[in-house]
Amino acid sequence: MATRSKKFFSGIVKRFFGDRRHKDGKKEKDDLAAIAATEQRVFRYETLVAATSNFSPKHKLGEGGFGPVYKGRLEDGREVAVKRLGRGSQQGAREFENEALLLSRVQHKNVVNLYGYCAHGDDKLLVYEYVPNESLDKLLFSRGEEGVDRRKRKAELDWARRYKVILGVARGLLYLHESAQTTIIHRDIKASNILLDGRWTPKIADFGMARLFPEDQTHVNTRVAGTNGYMAPEYVMHGVLSVKADVFSFGVLLLELVAGRKNSTFASLPDADVGSLLEWAWKLYKKGQSVELLDPALSPAISVAEAEQVAMCVQLALLCTQADPKQRPDMNRVFVALSKITTTMTTTTTLVLEEPMAPGLPGRRYRRRSHGLTTTYTRGSTAAAPTNTAGESSSASSATASTTSTTTTSAARSSTTRVASHP
């Protein structure tokens, strides 16, 4: 058993770092070997069979990208989720090993925790912490037909909790992009890959398509992998991958949390002239009606302050989904803006957000911003008209009322984008 598991872990290392002899490659191998040796992450197969009642259908939580996921309880009382690789799945095997490698390197409260792994004959399994509130999509997009328990939890997903999810996912992405040992680009940020624990803390999950980007690597070619509706246009059309691709996906997720609707669900949108949630958000924003995007289930109970917060979130989401990746803020600036919105809801300070242009859609060409328009939000009032950098009033459309901070989030500010990919 131990030999098979060591071979499994060695296979993960080899797949990602091959036979490279340079210093950084050797360090990566040494780091991963140290993890395997010191953290005792290898589970006995018999332990997982007992924990899941022999992988009973009654314990099945769902079907992942490479196989089923089961709920289990270990002898020490910990509840776990066990991912089991479907036999004969070559693509699943690559994603499985990818996830094992990447999650063995990270530890953050907004990233799902990998407890360990197991290799037993043809069976390969990953063991995670169990999160009781399921994935975000099952609650956010629930329409009431899934049972009493889920309807109750859907009702509990009020705006305050949704904002907690927004902030937590932003914090998790910031960690992956800037604080992990090596930059990690997730490539598949979406509601079904956000898990919610018992305290509604979001956990980014499913790293099967994620990519490592060492500091000395500037670009390589990449195949396109992800979910339609969440992928950035430059990635879909040209295979150009950077951290800004995750920023785009986050912007789409942010709009979905506001609206309670999927970006890819066209028929249910109130406006028949738009083809996606992203287009509808842009149309409402130009009219100064961003708050109308809000989930109808929340509208009756939302406060004036929360409505202002919603308007700013819509504008920030549009900045994250700009067609030109250089016009999108990085996750550090996104998180700072969201934090300021949270901490200054009861103050009279101001938040300045740059005016977005039309969001990016696959096939649509983009142009550089040729102006310096911004929208200034002051608590308890309608958003000021956009102004240019010289302070002159502009006739460009503005978002509705909002709050908070002296921080300026400028998507037009030039930043170095690490373009990277995988053979």
> Which residues are tagged catalytic?
188
Supply 30's token pair: 């040494």
Dihedral angle of Cα 102, 106, 107, 110, to the nearest 10 degrees: -70
Q: Which residues pair with 81 in a beta bridge?
A: 71, 128
What is the SS3 string spanning 91-107? HHHHHHHHHHHHHCCCC
Residue 127 to residue 100: CA distance in whole angstroms: 10
What sign does the CA torsion over 297, 299, 302, 307 have?
positive
Instruction: Measure CA 310 to chain center.
Output: 19
Looking from the CA of 80 toward its CB, the CA atoms found within 13 Å total 28
Specify whether the CB–CB gap between 286 and 306 falls below 8 A: no
| Alpha-carbon separation of residue 256 from 52, 141, 165, 260 (angstroms) | 34, 9, 12, 5
